[in-house]
């Protein structure tokens, strides 16, 4: 059987691909031969990620200045990618942010900031790549959810609402676009070491130890722990899978669902 995970000739767009989980996924898809487009706001970070991917994996790679909270920026970015490469095979909706507060402390505009980035932004990116994927008769959309796609969290309500929404969006898009050959799936990471969670560790003393203790596999994840799931959902290996979510969480969610004493 030929390599089901091969991505030679495919074009993958990773929003927020210049940092953390997005960079880990960009690296993973590059190892399978995909052309990589890093789509994010900070041009210096994007240029560094592009150089790193080009030198380590030797695949075509470019950066696009891209703000998922701005529809014009999304549409312009996707148009540039189509002009340069003529196709988009994989969209990874990874760009995300969090405002950590108790629910009673949020300002109304903070609702918009989080939702516009994490949920509306991802939706607008799906809409923007749809014509290309429909025309190709094939496409893979991978949404990056979270454990908060499954569970609430007291001090990150807006983030949790956005990530549950992303899972719901995955289900609906999968149904709507299945006959067009577009697979829409969601990865649900557990606690992964990135700039986002470094900030969380600063805000929440004891978090590092708590996660190590409570995660059945006994450690935080690293961005490259997402590699296998991303390769799978981006490649032909997942052609008969859509509307699915895949936890990459060291067992975190399973631990929640079971009475696990003594500890595994």
Counting contacts by CB under 6 A, is residue 76 touching ligand NDP?
no
∠142-167-197 over CA atoms, to 5°? 75
Check: CB of residue 145 under 8 Å from CB of residue 245: yes
Supply the minimum distance, in Å, between the C-beta of residue 247 and ligand NDP.
10
Check: CB of residue 27 under 8 Å from CB of residue 56: yes
Which residue in 37, 59, 90, 97 binds ligand NDP (CB under 6 A)? 97
Which residue in 9, 58, 195, 228 binds ligand NDP (CB under 6 A)? 195
Supply the minimum distance, in Å, between the C-beta of residue 85 and ligand NDP.
19
Dihedral sign computed on CA atoms, order 65, 113, 170, 75: negative
x/- contact string, 214-253, with ligand NDP (CB under 6 A)?
Answer: ----------------------------------------
Which residue in 144, 150, 156, 169 binds ligand NDP (CB under 6 A)? 144
- Closest to ligand NDP by CB, 40 or 157: 40
Give the whole-angstrom CA distance, residue 109 versus residue 31.
Answer: 40
Burial of 182: CB neighbours in 10 Å, binned 0-12, 13-18, 19+: buried
Task: Say which of 85, 106, 159, 171 is annotated catalytic.
Answer: 159
Give the whole-angstrom CA distance, residue 79 versus residue 66.
Answer: 12
Q: Is 159 a catalytic residue?
A: yes
Supply the minimum distance, in Å, between the C-beta of residue 16 and ligand NDP.
3
């Amino acid at each position: 059987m030929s390599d089901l995970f091969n991505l030679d000739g495919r074009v993958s767009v990773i929003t927020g691909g210049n940092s953390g989980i997005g960079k880990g996924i960009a690296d993973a898809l590059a190892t399978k031969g995909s052309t990589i487009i890093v789509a994010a706001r900070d041009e210096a970070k994007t240029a560094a990620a592009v150089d790193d991917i080009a030198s380590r994996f030797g695949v075509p790679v470019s950066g696009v200045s891209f703000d998922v909270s701005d529809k014009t920026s999304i549409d312009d970015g996707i148009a540039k990618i189509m002009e340069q490469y003529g196709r988009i095979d994989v969209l990874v909706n990874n760009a995300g942010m969090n405002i950590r507060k108790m629910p009673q402390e949020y300002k109304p505009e903070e609702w918009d900031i989080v939702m516009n980035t994490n949920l509306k932004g991802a939706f607008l990116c799906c809409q923007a790549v749809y014509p290309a994927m429909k025309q190709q008769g094939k496409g893979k959309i991978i949404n990056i959810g979270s454990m908060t796609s499954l569970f609430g969290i007291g001090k990150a309500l807006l983030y949790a609402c956005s990530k549950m929404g992303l899972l719901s969006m995955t289900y609906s898009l999968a149904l709507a676009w299945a006959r067009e050959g577009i697979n829409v799936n969601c990865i649900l990471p557990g606690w992964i070491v990135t700039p986002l969670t470094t900030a969380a560790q600063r805000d929440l003393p004891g978090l590092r130890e708590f996660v190590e203790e409570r995660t059945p596999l006994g450690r935080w994840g690293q961005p490259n722990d997402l590699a296998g799931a991303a390769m799978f959902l981006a490649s032909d290996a997942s052609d008969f899978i859509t509307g699915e979510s895949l936890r990459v969480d060291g067992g975190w969610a399973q631990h929640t669902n079971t009475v696990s004493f003594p500890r595994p």
